[in-house]
Amino acid sequence: MTDTNSEADLQEAIAAIDLGSNSFHLIVVRANNGHLQIIDRLRESVRLGEGLTEDKRLDPAVAERALACLERFAQRLRPLPRENIRAVGTNTMRQIHPADDFITQAERALSHPIEIIAGREEARLVYLGVAHGLAAGNERRLVIDIGGGSTELIIGQGYSPHHRESLFMGCVSISRRFFANGKITAKSMHEAELACAVQIRPVRNQFKEGGWSEAIGSSGTIKAIGNVLAQQGWSESGITLEALEKLANHLTEVSHTDQLDLKGLSDERRPVFAGGVAVLLALFRHIGIEQMQISSEALREGLIYDMIGRSHHEDARDRTIQSLIARYSIDEAQGTRVEATAMALFEQVTKAWQLKESRYAAMLSWAARIHEIGLTVSHGQFHKHGAYLVENSDLSGFSRQEQRVLAAMIRGHRRKFPTSFFETLPGDVITCTKQLCILLRLSVLMHRARSPVVKPMARLEVEKNRLSLVFPQDWIKGHPLTRTELMQEAAFLELAGFVLRFS
């Protein structure tokens, strides 16, 4: 960041990091009445997808290149408050084998957690960024973002995406598959387009007949194509099908990426340019696009607006939880009772268990509200069914790590405490997730009768793995069922390394 930025300015700044399959992006902004003032912007062509092997391991040289980039990003982020930063990983980072431990290394290099987001969540954020950069209007729009390893398609109105898909094709992956040696022929271009058409086919009708009135492209690939077409004089406004076909024919005539000498094409974009052209040409032809405008906004801007929304109590995750409650007919009254008790217990242990960050309260609240989601499958083992649904569904606003934490809490909210399940979580969240789950377990236990009658609130004191639950005098004696259930709970928790005392 430049030296002209005061410390006070940086304390108000927001940063978003987009770790894509082709490029890593960092943007630092200051929000002013809904508008973004750019403070700093960095981009490096890391080509992470280029280093992904068939068995999903990452080439050490590519990993080293990526980590060096993240260390440089970390230097720029150092003055910013931690809560003002979000970093997300997309297609390639979704695929890297856990044994490589790359994400842990990346988080260490960046000095900040990295959220791995699903394809449809990536699409939501792309649309959010693009929509904020467009003139206000209620027309239906088709937004397309071509990344290094995936392509996102979205139809939406205003700031609301209605249809979202993520297709397994991108400029890096298609270039590696069909133009690996740099050679571009009419045959390889046709085969590349055909492979993309196969990916498009399952969603073709949905997006071709989606009722959109304009198509908008974002990302470096589409911007590079648009820039080349403009510089060559082949298109006066955006990208047209005719100009795109002319560009594809030119690439096959040149026949090799090393010989591409197109105005507006950078050296770092050249190795993956043919793959990007093949992807976009397939989209134009098979979805019926005649012309596309280009947006300068993309995923990183969407991340910024999503962060602003969260700070103004417009969190997409809240809407997702509410939609789950409606979709799976969850007993909302019971969830609300459990949530109220869980939050009351949480407030008592926040300091002792060091759960001061707002994300802890939010995760406990969401888990309490949907802890019975598995009942839609079966009453038997419904905590296991619920964990599966939460971990494997497309939940707007949630990262994959957040979904796994929610799933662990729901999996562990009753019966035997599943220690092994928690051990599969990232190391830095295992302890706090166990603690939140115990609060959820106690809250569910206190509302086992599902009665609307308000029970007296117990006092909870904790010291590391020791818990003391104190009810009003003689209350526990008058409630033998609760006493029996607490004895069973103490036995369950003891097996997990926790000690529960109650009186």
pLDDT at position 170 is: 94
Q: What's CA 135's distance to the chain center, in Å?
A: 26
pLDDT at position 34 is: 66
The token pair that represents 35 in the structure block: 């508008």
pLDDT tens-digit profile, the chain (503 residues): 544 455 555 668 999 999 999 899 999 999 877 678 899 999 999 989 989 998 999 999 999 999 999 999 999 999 999 999 999 999 999 999 988 889 999 999 999 999 999 999 999 999 999 998 886 678 899 999 999 999 999 999 998 999 999 999 999 999 999 998 899 999 999 999 999 999 999 999 999 999 999 999 998 999 999 999 999 999 988 999 999 999 999 999 998 888 888 988 998 899 999 999 999 999 999 999 999 999 999 999 999 999 998 888 889 999 999 999 999 999 999 999 999 999 999 999 999 999 988 899 999 999 999 999 999 999 989 999 999 999 999 999 999 999 999 999 999 999 999 999 999 998 889 999 999 999 999 999 999 888 887 777 889 999 999 999 998 888 888 888 888 999 999 999 999 999 999 98
Question: Which pTM value belongs to this model?
Answer: 0.87
> Which candidate, 399, 398, 400, 376, places its Cα nearest to that of 386?
376
What do you get for the CA distance between the two ends of the chain, in Å?
A: 57
Q: What is the CATH number of domain 120-303?
A: 3.30.420.150
How is residue 53 annotated by DSSP?
Answer: -
In the chain, residues under CATH classification 3.30.420.40 are: 7-116
Long-range contacts of 448-455 (CB under 8 A, 24+ apart): 448/485, 450/331, 450/334, 452/333, 452/337
Topology adopted by domain 7-116: Nucleotidyltransferase; domain 5 (3.30.420)
DSSP letter string, 157-192 = ETTEEEEEEEES--HHHHHHHHSTTSB--HHHHHHH
In the chain, residues under CATH classification 3.30.420.150 are: 120-303
Q: What is the CATH number of domain 315-502?
A: 1.10.3210.10
Distance CA 53, CA 459 (A): 54
Angstrom CA distances, 5 to 40, 96, 252, 352, 438, stand at 10, 37, 48, 37, 45
pLDDT at position 98 is: 87
pLDDT at position 358 is: 87
In the chain, residues under CATH classification 1.10.3210.10 are: 315-502
pLDDT at position 9 is: 58
The token pair that represents 420 in the structure block: 């092994």
Distance CA 94, CA 278 (A): 23
Handedness of CA 194, 144, 16, 433 (dihedral sign): negative
Distance CA 257, CA 234 (A): 20
The token pair that represents 154 in the structure block: 């979205």
> Which candidate, 128, 164, 160, 147, places its Cα nearest to that of 303?
128
